[in-house]
Amino acid sequence: MTKKMNFLFVNPRYANPGQLYNFPLGMAYVSASMKAKGFNVCCLNLCHYSEPVDNIIAEWIKNNSIDVLCTGAMSIYWAELSHVLEAAKKAKPDIINVVGGAIITSDPEMAMQNLKIDYGVIGEGEITMVEAAEALSCGKEIGSVKGVVYFDKSHNLVKTGSREAISELDILPLPDYEGFEFGKFLSWMKDSDDLLFTRLDGEPRLVEIIASRGCPFSCTFCYHPLGKKYRKRSLDNVFKEIEYLVKTYKVNLLSLLDELFSENKERIIEFARRIEKYHLRWFAQWRVGNIDEETVKSLKKSGILLVGFGVEAMSNTILKSMKKHTTTSEIENDFKLLLENNICPCGNIILGDPQETEETANESIGWYIKHPEYNINLGFIQAVPDSQDYRYALANSIIKDKLCHVKEKFPLINMSRLSDGEFKKLKTKVYRYEYGRKNYLPARLLSSKCNISNENGKRSYNLEVACPLCGCVSVYKNFKKSTKHPFASILCKNCGKRLKIKTRQAFPEEYSFFSDYLPYLKRMLVYGYLLEFDIFHKAFKQFFQYRERLLKK
């Protein structure tokens, strides 16, 4: 007997209204697949609402007669996801909670045992969720659906058979942008300083899309929730989505989230040719060694803004340990090739590999300092479930309680060959460099004019800035001083380089030593000294956890 069930897809509250966050693209794909099959589906994006989570979920469940709540997240958002699940059970004890995403795929047992989940969806969710919904609606045994985990009547954990990766990605409908209020997501971008690209020009309207799934490589710090089998959408299908986004939402910035966008040279060149007519600025992640002169020229003509390389380390010893299958000379060659063609490169260095020593760390940091024109971010490896580094940390008792590790949002751990004391000093150095924007190019401020809004009385500034690298003079209208920091960060509108200007020069009406430099000095003291002591480390951690809970209410 078929029962018409109502499904509610909920995006947890990762941010408060007005703040930037990552649009729930994966959940939007699953929601669209459900709608395409005729299920009654409504969507709630908690990032767009300020009411208490418990209240708003209870209201939506009651007003829409919800039978099944569907949600999901990455493991780092354990607390936010747990809040949604508990609120649903509190509002309606017999509601069915279904969870997907990396939080369930990376460790099904831990998630099922510690969260209020009735059914977990492992891996890609589009087909699995549709089949699970059909089973629930028809009263069929859900054990026949591949890719599901649940507790049986004897409270034994049951994992159904593994589901094959979706080979033909073109069969999937476009993501459910409307359901998760993509228009509202875009509307907050113009007033936000959380994302550097929003300072580029005019009114930024950024969209992230996925043109392929999976990655066959096995970098030790990485986890692939969509599997290792590489699959790609046809370019006709990709440009169907781009056409829709440009016409419907007037997007002007495009980010490709593919783990392996650069896999096929002919595909890249064809993509670059076809995107020209949209006059978009776009950027993508790139594998080192997958670029040459011909490709670079086609990228330049297409209007590309940034090429993000997976650098990770500038020590061949560490690159080998990470299983990157790249070399420092390849990294250098690729960065130089882009700069010679006036395309902006960028990348990340992540310290703390199990083979990291003081010598290898200094190799990477020295290169970072030497090349501000490369737009490199400096940070540390996070032991993400179920990466090889995470498994290494568990096997060597570096992570003693994996549930605490996840709940505490992957606190930094020492997996390296450095002593704990040496590792703490390295952390302090990296924080000082990143907070001081040591790797940003100092720009020349030509003029600063203060504007005062008639609506709210808040100040903004029109800035005229000269780039030290390409010489281009850029004008930034209605630039807002949003952070208490000795430097403001911007992007050159011509070459895309990260620049910094002194706060006291750019915002003279708002500058004071106490508002700009005192917080900086305070942070240096806190992170450089007090956190060396466990009692202060625990106290600060508890304070920030308490502060997060208050902000989410």
Write phi, then psi, for 347 (nearest 5 degrees).
Answer: 180, 180
Residue 442, token pair as written in the block: 């100092």
Q: Measured between alpha carbons, how far is 340 from 346 in angstroms, rounded to an integer?
A: 14
Q: State the pLDDT confidence band at 481, using cuts at 50, 70 and 90.
A: low
Report whether pLDDT(286) > 90.
Answer: yes
Q: Which of 413, 432, 415, 414 is nearest to 369 (CA)?
A: 432
Pairwise CA distance, residues 61 & 48, whole Å: 17
Distance CA(331)–CA(318), nearest Å, equals 14
Is 205 within 8 Å of 84 (Cβ atoms)? no
C-alpha 553/C-alpha 544 separation (Å) is 15
Tokens 């795929």 -> residue:
105
What one-character DSSP code corresponds to residue 297? H
Give residue-wise pLDDT tens across range 135-181: 999 988 899 999 999 999 999 999 999 999 999 999 999 999 999 99
CB 398 within 8 A of CB 413: yes
Residue pLDDT, tens place only, 88-113:
999 999 999 999 999 999 999 999 99
Characterize the bridge pairing of strands 459-466 and 444-452: antiparallel
Q: Where does the pLDDT of residue 529 fall: very low under 50, low under 70, confident under 90, or very high at 90 and above?
A: very low
Pick from 350, 197, 217: which is nearest to 290 by CA? 217
Cis peptide before 386, with omega less than 30 degrees from 0?
A: yes
388 SS3 class = helix
Q: Are 283 and 307 in contact (CB under 8 A)?
A: yes
Tokens in use for 183? 């228009």
Residue 175: is it exposed, middle or buried by C-beta count within 10 angstroms (0-12/13-18/19+)?
buried
d(CA 401, CA 80): 20
Using CB atoms within 10 A of its CB, is residue 99 exposed (0-12), middle (13-18) or buried (19+)?
buried
DSSP β-bridge partners for residue 120? 99, 149
Confidence of residue 43 (pLDDT cuts 50, 70, 90): very high
Q: How confident is the model at residue 545 (pLDDT cuts 50, 70, 90)?
A: low
Assess contact for 364 and 349: CB atoms under 8 A: yes
**pLDDT for 435:** 77
359-383 burial: b if 16+ Cβ within 10 Å, else e: ebbebbbebbeebbbbbbebebbbb
Say how far apart CA 181 and CA 49 lie, in whole Å: 11
Output the CA–CA distances (angstroms, integers) from residue 123 to 81, 99, 259, 425, in the order listed: 17, 11, 16, 39
Q: Which residue has the higher pLDDT, 191 or 349?
A: 349
Give the domains, in start order, of the chain with CATH numbers. 6-159 (3.40.50.280), 195-435 (3.20.20.70), 441-511 (no CATH), 517-552 (no CATH)
pTM check: above 0.85: yes
User: DSSP 3-state assignment of 350?
Assistant: strand
Q: Is 390 helix (H, G, I), strand (E, B) or coil?
A: helix
Task: Give per-residue pLDDT as tens, 424-476.
Answer: 999 999 988 887 788 888 999 999 998 876 555 677 888 899 999 888 898 88
